[in-house]
Amino acid sequence: MPSAEPARAVSYWLAAGEPARAPALAGAATADVVIIGAGFTGLWTALRLLETDPALKVAIVEMEHVGFGATGRNGGFCQASLTHGLENGLRHYPDEAHLLHREGMANLRATVDFVRDNGIECDLEATGELSLADHPRQVDEFREHVELATAHGERAVFLDGDAARAEVHSPRWTAGAWHPDSCVMLDPAKLARGLARVAHERGAVLYEGTRVTALERVAGGIRVRTAAADGAPGEIRARYAVVATSAYSGWLGRLRPLFVPVYDYVLVSEPLTPPQHDAIGWRNRQGLADANNQFHYFRLTADDRVLWGGFDAVYHPHNGVGPAYDRRPATFERLAANWRRTFPQLADLRWPYRWGGAIDTTSRFTMTLGQTMGGRVVYALGYTGLGVGASRWAAGIARDFILRPESDLLRLRFVRSRPVPFPPEPLRSLGVETVRNELARADANDGRRGRLLRTLDGLGIGFDS
């Protein structure tokens, strides 16, 4: 893959500017609520707690820096859906899907308002998302999907093959489904840094470079043990702790059955020249995604680069996460080859930024929320690749567990129920790998799902990127 600049493991978003780091925790501290993890979930939880009780003493403890995890590495599609799509919501929560759909749309509007009202410059573009079919069998599925979304009160537009190809010039498209109102595009690292700034202004205290090593139940609350990068120990006593550590949550044993970390990879190109942009169309700058099990998502950045990600979804045994997995040359090559097949007119596009990140995947593709350790520890994770928008809503639930136990939202099955647990190793690796292979086989076989996938579908268990 030719490249003018050396490829960097860090994401394109995080590479742009290094804000000053908050100090690590040294010694002992106290708080009403301590939040573990400074990604979207942790930052929104701080903000939502302070929105309800501005006097609350909130501390955020982050092992690296704001946005280090999936938050600083994602595609920047900020979607309304809380349920990984309307169809998945209807499959798992038929009685609640309509309400959840409305909650998601309201959550997206509140996110956009928050960004505007707090002067967060995160290159937000309200372009909507255009899903693209690349197989004749998907055309009717797209028509049905548009009808379904419309029936749930969402604006959605079906595009036939000509219209889809006119929008974004690839011979592959057979249809499109445009969702103008259910997705905005943004720079996730700028959003995360903006949220951290506002949380700080509202009184939250952030400790970066501080890893939480253990939680202990103590009289009246919880003790959070920490270690700074140099190994210096610390502790925070608080009434409550919120675990917002996403795909890294294996450090807390009781969360391990609930998720698997699945690595997803991204390329970002050099800025398109005007002739290159003309060659691809894409004048409306929507977020784009194809509709296969192994799918690509792609978008334009503010400086007109292409971000092209997805397809491979890689599980490393024993819930493996860490910098060793941030680069995967075989996947980078595959992504670049898939790009060339999709857009042969831009086959020579160069990709100076390439990286990977871990996605907290649940067996039902939707978040899992709950309380443990006598109710003193709240957790929120498992967005399965759609947490940029949904994390704000989950943060509202984390807040409700602590400050508003009477909230009706806490009674939802979506909130109370748990996903089917993943088995321990070695079955976990074997299971994930088998399902991944079956999904690839279904894509290669006109979308026809084999017996294993049909059985898992029947049980409400699945797996994709």
Ligand X SMILES: Cc1cc2nc3c(=O)[nH]c(=O)nc-3n(C[C@H](O)[C@H](O)[C@H](O)COP(=O)(O)OP(=O)(O)OC[C@H]3O[C@@H](n4cnc5c(N)ncnc54)[C@H](O)[C@@H]3O)c2cc1C
- The DSSP code for 166 is H
Cα–chain center distance at 394? 12
Token pair listed for 195: 């949220």
Q: Looking at beta carbons, which residue is closest to ligand X?
A: 387
In the complex with ligand X, which residue's Cβ is closer, 176 or 209?
Answer: 209
Phi, psi at residue 50, to the nearest 5°? Answer: -75, -25
Point out which span in 71-79, 135-143, 332-340, 370-378 binds ligand X (CB under 6 A): 71-79
What x/- string results for residues 248 through 277 when contact with ligand X is judged by CB under 6 A?
A: x--x------------x-x-----------
CB 102 within 8 A of CB 108: no
Token pair listed for 161: 């093959």
- Count of other CB atoms within 10 angstroms of residue 162: 10
- Please report which helix (H) or strand (E) contains residue 303, including its range: none
Cα–chain center distance at 139? 27
What x/- string results for residues 204 through 243 when contact with ligand X is judged by CB under 6 A?
A: -------xx-------------------------------
Question: Would you count residue 120 as binding ligand X (CB under 6 A)?
Answer: no
- Please report which helix (H) or strand (E) contains residue 387, including its range: helix 387-403
Question: Would you count residue 64 as binding ligand X (CB under 6 A)?
Answer: yes
Point out which span in 39-47, 193-201, 269-277, 429-437 binds ligand X (CB under 6 A): 39-47
Residues present in the chain in total: 465
Point out which span in 24-32, 72-80, 86-94, 132-140 binds ligand X (CB under 6 A): 72-80
Point out which span in 65-73, 83-91, 154-162, 438-446 binds ligand X (CB under 6 A): 65-73
Please compute, for residue 212, the number of CA atoms within 13 A of its CA located in the half-sphere on the CB side: 28
CB of 345: closest distance to ligand X in angstroms?
A: 25
In the complex with ligand X, which residue's Cβ is closer, 56 or 335?
Answer: 335
CB of 140: closest distance to ligand X in angstroms?
A: 27
Please compute, for residue 18, the number of CA atoms within 13 A of its CA located in the half-sphere on the CB side: 4
Distance from C-alpha of 110 to C-alpha of 384, rounded to nearest angstrom: 22
CB of 129: closest distance to ligand X in angstroms?
A: 10
Phi, psi at residue 101, to the nearest 5°? Answer: -65, -45
Question: Would you count residue 393 as binding ligand X (CB under 6 A)?
Answer: no
Question: Would you count residue 379 as binding ligand X (CB under 6 A)?
Answer: no
Task: Give the footprint of ligand X on this chain (CB under 6 A).
Answer: 36-42, 61-64, 68-71, 73-77, 79, 211-212, 244-248, 251, 264, 266, 309, 357-359, 381, 383, 385-389, 391
